[in-house]
Structure 1
C-alpha cells in the first residue's frame, strides 16, 4: 500500500500539464475495461458520457476516465484519450469498429494566472500525453488536473489516498481540488479532514480547537469544481458503483467547506476493478468517503509553488 488510488491492483494513472497555460489533465485507465458509476452533486458540472454510466444504459464498462482543467474546453482531453485508445485497438465493439468509452469531467481553471490565448485547443494533446504516461506510482500535488487548481484560501492540487479493509477489499481515491470553499479551517493550518488523517499524511496537526460559526471563506467568483474518482478491487455492479460514488461525496463535505454549491460542478466517479467479494457495501462506502476526505487534504498539502500563482500553497502559509 502506497496511499495511492493505484493500490487497487491493475489501475494506472497518468498526468500531463502545460506550465504556460497553467492547466493539465489526469487519466485513470487499466489494461482491460472496468465497471464505472458516477454521481454529480455540484450545481455547475461539465461532463462527457456520464449519462452512459446510469445503471439502465447499455454499456457497463469504460476504457478510461479523464479529469481535466479548462472548463468545457477541457472536455477535448477525452477525445485525445479516445483516439489513442482506438489506435491501440481498445473500445466497445460495434461491427468491425472499436469505440473507446472515455467519460470525463472538468474543472474551471481559466482565471488562475496562466496564458489562455491559445489558437489550438491544447487539451486533446494533453489527454493523449496523460494516457501515455499512465503508471502505478502517480504523483500528487501540483500535477495533472490539479496543476492549476485553487481553493478559497490556498492553492489547490491533485490528491490521492487508499485504505485496505480486513476482508481484502482495497479502496482508493483520486481528486482534483479546485473548490469554491476551503480545505482548511479559516485558512489554516488545520484541515477540515483532520479527524480522518492517517499516519500524519497531511501534517499531523490534528483538528482545530474552535471551529468557525460564521460564513466560511469562499472565492469571489465562479472558478470552481472538485472532481474525483474512488476505486476498489471489490466486485461491484454498475448500480453498486453508483451508490459508492454517492457515498464518497460525504468525503467532499467532510474536507471542503462549503461543498456542493451552485457554483461547483462537484462530481465523483466510482470504479470496480477486481473480483474480491464484498458483503458490506455500507462499510465500503464509509471507507470511500474517508479516503476522499484524506485525498483532498493531501492534494492541498502537497501543492508546490510557482511564480505565477495567485494564492500561496499550504506549506508557504502554514509551514
Structure 2
C-alpha cells in the first residue's frame, strides 16, 4: 500500500471516529430521556392507582359539591378579595417605590420603615389586627387629641370584616409590590429620564410616560406571580370569618365531616383560578414585550 493510500485511509478512520464520538452523547441523552420518561410514567401510574383505589378521597362527594352554591359563592368572594387587595397593594406599592426613589430623606425613610414592618410581620397577624381593630379603637372619628371626638363612628361599622381582610392583605402586599416596582424603575437606563428632562417633561410626566412604560416589562412577571400568590393567600381570612372559598368548604365539612373530599374541591377550584391567571399573565407579558420591541425598532 502506498503512502498516499495509507494517509487517505487514516483520514477516513479519523473521520469515522469523530462521527462516532459526535453520536455517542446523543445516544446517551436519548437513553437518559427514555429512562427518565419511563420512571415518570411508572410514578404517574402509581399516583393514578392511589387516587382511584383509595376510598378516602371519596370522589362522588367531590363531584356532588364541586358546583355547590355555597362553594361558588365562596369562589366569588375569593376573587373579589383578591382583586381588591391587589388593587390596594399595587397602588400603595407604586407610591412607596416612588418615595424610596425620592431625594428627600424623610419620605425615603418613611417608605423604608413601612416596607420593613409589613415584610417583617406575618400576614396572618396583620389580618387578625385589622379584624380585631375594634378592641383597640372602639370608635373612629374626628376630634382634638386628648379632648374627645367631635364626630365618631363605631369601628365595626366603618371597617366591616371584608374591609378588614382587604386592608390586612392589601397593606401587606404593598410592601412587596414596592420592591418589585422599585426594581423595575431601576432597570430603566438613567439616560431615558435625562432625555425626557431635556425635552421639558416634568418629573411626574417622565415617570408616567417614559419610565413606567419601559419598567413594565420587568414589573409584570413578578406582579403576576404576586397576584397568583394573593389568590391563595386569601385563605388566611378564614380566621376572621370572611366567607371565601376555604371558609365555604370548611362550613360544609363541619356539618358532614367529609374533610378530605371538600378540601379536594377547594384545591380543584384554586388550581382552575391560578391556571386562568397564569394565562392572563402570559398574555400581558407578550403584549408588553411586543409593544417595547416595536418601540425599539423605530429608534
Shorter chain as normaliser: what TM range?
under 0.3
Structure with greater strand share of residues: 1
TM-score normalized by the length of structure 1:
0.26
Query: Normalized per residue, which structure has more helix?
Result: 2
Normalised by the size of structure 2, how large is the TM-score?
0.28
